[in-house]
Amino acid sequence: MSRTRLNPNLAKIHRSYTVEEIARLYGLHRNTVRSWLNGGGLVAIDGGRPVLVQGKVLRAFLDTRRTAAKRPCPTGSLYCFKCREPRAPALGMADFIVGKAGTGNLRAHCEVCGSTMHRRTRLEAVPVVLPGIAVRVVEAAPRIAEGTAPSLKCT
């Protein structure tokens, strides 16, 4: 599966597109579009020439591809960008950094590679998102602009 993100909504539903137009619209090679038509699941209008694809068909095709490429994080995991997989927090520990209006960021280390992972959630949802994990609630570090002590770098 390609990592390229193609926005289905770029295709206008009341238009028809040639292979070249689809390639130009999404910055793809024409052969990529042709492979979608040849068994890739994209369906053209009848068998005429030039090959035309209805905008709404193209949009539905790209929507399906995008949904299939999504990797929702299961319960008890955060997405590790280094591993490109959802991972459990190392040592069963995580921090919740309090944000605005009850939301915040979960922060933990990947159990496999050790890199920092983040997951956005609400405070009351933490036991649901990470059951059995010791989550420490921490206040966000004050922003530099809100600090009372003048910056040491200022002259």
Question: Exposed (0-12), middle (13-18) or buried (19+): which is 11, by Cβ within 10 Å?
Answer: buried
Stretches 8-16, 58-66, 92-100, 103-111: which one binds Zn ion (CB under 5 A)? Answer: 103-111
Out of 110, 129, 130, 135, name the contact with Zn ion by CB under 5 A: 110
For residue 114 the two structure tokens come to 């050790």
CB 135 within 8 A of CB 96: yes
Q: Does 84 bind Zn ion (CB under 5 A)?
A: no
Decide if residue 113 touches Zn ion (CB under 5 A): yes
Give the closest residue to 97 by CA, choosing from 88, 89, 108. Answer: 108
Angle 108-117-86 from CA coordinates, rounded to 5°: 105
Which listed range, 23-31, 72-80, 123-131, 133-141, lies at the site for Zn ion (CB under 5 A)? Answer: 72-80
Q: Which is nearer to Zn ion, 108 or 135 (by Cβ)? A: 108
CB of 95 to Zn ion, least distance (A): 17
For Zn ion, which stretch binds (CB under 5 A), given 11-19, 22-30, 44-52, 77-85? Answer: 77-85
Query: Which of 91, 112, 128, 137 lies at the binding interface for Zn ion (CB under 5 A)?
Result: 112
- Give the C-alpha separation, 30 to 19, whole Å: 6
Is the distance from CB of 135 to CB of 76 less than 8 angstroms?
no
| Residues at the interface with Zn ion (CB under 5 A) | 80, 82-83, 110, 112-113
